[in-house]
Structure 1
Amino acid sequence: MESVTLETAVKDIAQKARQASRTMAALPTAVKNQILRDTATALEANLEQIKAENSKDVAAAREKQLSPAMINRLEISEAVIADMIRGLHEIAALEDPVGEVDEMAKRPSGITVGRMRVPLGVISMIYESRPNVTIDSAALCLKAGNVVILRGGSEAIHSNLVLAGIMQGVLSAAGVDPAVVQVLPFTDRAAVDILLKQEEYIDLVIPRGGEGLIRAVTQKSMIPVLKHYKGVCHIFIDKDAKPEMAIPIVHNSKVQRPGVCNAVEGVLVHQECSATMIPALAADLSAAGVRLLGCAKSCSLDRRVEPAADEDWGREFLDLALVVKVVSGMDQAMEYIAEHGSQHTEAIITDSYERSQRFLREVDASAVIVNAATRFNDGGQFGLGAEIGISTTKLHAYGPMGLKELTTRKFIVLGQGEIRS
């Protein structure tokens, strides 16, 4: 497709999305929930079609010799479809935030002022590999009253198109504009560059994937981007921390799922407990296959700790590896976190209420945790029901993004003929 034609086609998708958003914002909760439940039914009914389209993507991925891990993420098994169906029903069961009114207050002028929760409008999701993100993201955006333009990885184009097509069929049957959910049908990367210039029609871009993808989107976008580049999470073990609490927390934070953004990548140990804590940590983590890279002091306390290279400090390993550093106290721990953290998740293990409260106040991260694993920074674990991602930027959301984070609030004013003097 010639660039001029491609630009016209992408702009047409964005325009249709903006037009659909005008009616989507007023769609009743019952209609949205029925669309979600009907989509779940349609996925089950179209299982063979989904698998046939997905097989095209998997075959192409094998031909291109993509990694086994990439192919595994690409495959839509019956278990993956079952998860999508379950997710649709769970989102349908969540409370609808759209239209909530609060903070109503009478002003001296006689007017009553409050806030009403409303959809963001048009959201563009740019993501990699996993086709289930197509349904998961579309469902969350729809429930929050938004329109979504989806652009998955080119390796999943057939899978994403068939999944979105099924949802569009359900929307049409419900009398709702199918442009509420659209997949960018072009594998040409230039299409994404064009999409990121449609600030007239798109309100927010949410990229999901590796740091390279997110930085590329952020650099090119003329539209606000909600992002997190990486998850460099830390646990500070305070001087009075009990090993029976600290060891299981660090173990769970690293070992349960080492390749996720809320896994711990660095452990900071107070010097006053380091002589006993570091050997205990090394014994536990080494037995679980974790490679420990440490400062000179850490290495001197246990032979299982290897010397860390300069580039290891602040590194996102996404693997069974982490850094260990002995610190003089909380001040040095917080200085290290400020320098090397990614504003994702930071935790302290302590018996001191005073120091725990100081850590909560002063450490800048989307989630700050006292005496629990970093792995809890998750929308489901926080009671959001589901999440579309985790934001480490502060405008307009910070941390896991659920339904409420896919909305904003506008002021509403009720009067009885008041005029301003």
Structure 2
Amino acid sequence: MSEPWAWLEASAWQASETVLVSPDRPRDGAPEHSLWDLHQQQDLQELLSASPSSDRSFALAHRLLSLPASGLLREQADQLRRELVGETVTYVVNRNLNYTNHCLQHCSFCAFRRDPGASGAYWHSFETLQARAEEARALGATELCIQGGLNPEARLDGSALHYYQALLEALSEAAPGLHLHAFSPQELLFIAEQDQIPLQTVIDGLKASGLGSIPGTAAEVLSESVRARLCPEKLSARQWCAVVLQVHRSGLPSTATLMAGHLESTADRAAHLLTLVALQQAAWQHQHSGFSEFVLLPFIGAQAPAALRQRVGRDQPDQGSMLALTAQARLLLGAWFPNHQPSWVKLTLAGATEALRWGCNDLGGTLMEESITSAAGALGGTAQTPEALRRAAVSLQRPVRERTTLYTAVPACA
């Protein structure tokens, strides 16, 4: 087994230790949320501006994340959203392309993965994916979101990198001009491990082949103790941070996520969100784009592997607690994350619309096809039309506009 820092830049590996906040760090007293009123703007301001590495910041974050759903919490989050990004609700017209569900890992929450040859297993050809990309472009998409399982057979001329480069190039040929939002930090590190080459070589090669940004999935919860139970075969929390540091330094933006509502504690959530702030601070300090958005991903257990499903005891998200977390994340991430997005796949469109009242400003993408969360038993469906997303925003009497992946205006010719 290779060392955890193998394939990573030494400077990124060293920096990852600094940005990763541990849920076990000492705190300045017990986190008694009853002692803290959100009307105390001095405390709130301290929370938003404090260094993520300080114990005081962790304690305040823990206290904030302990607050129950309430009208006051919602109002504070919505007011901050209004101050940072205004009233406009945004969305992107995109298509998901999950190119294979063959995967060598066995995450305890995943109902998507299959072994080759198993019932429901697939590995789409470039021709199939190109046809779907062409269709997406004809339907007005500006983005392709490309993710899949970790398939060791995905090679071209003996190289995993060459396969993934060829995939991006085939999609660009079929749908020129579409933004390629592809490959999680786990997938990037997997490619490096498969070819035994530096991660930077992978990033540079994919960028040369058209990669425009990466999804911030595979983060789940950035707590090593939770990951040991949730996804022990996956890259570690520190490795995830190191990959993201290298991605941002290479000029590629990414999204940021938190999968919540399973085995994680309040302290785990606090550490995760403060780690995201630290990573964003590192990116902005060097004038890099960093994270473009934060997306809360509630756990779906309906079709999840039985062991985790039984431990969690819930098939669908607890909407009240997820709305509270939506607001808490908005307040905790502050100005470092202007854009917040709920998951209509996991919450349903009605639930995602309600999240717009709890600090969110974006409804995500049309997706056109979704196979990872739906495999877990989500109730939100696999696609939305632009019209449906627009109606959701209008139902709240909010203005709405289409955006690009990176939250710029869509060109008139798109």
TM-score past 0.5 threshold: no
Give the structure with higher Rg (CA): 1
Question: Under a length normalisation based on structure 1, what TM-score does the superposition of the two structures give?
Answer: 0.28
Structure with the largest fraction of strand: 1
Higher relative contact order (CA 8 A, sep 6+): 2
With structure 2 as the length reference, what TM-score do the two structures score?
0.28
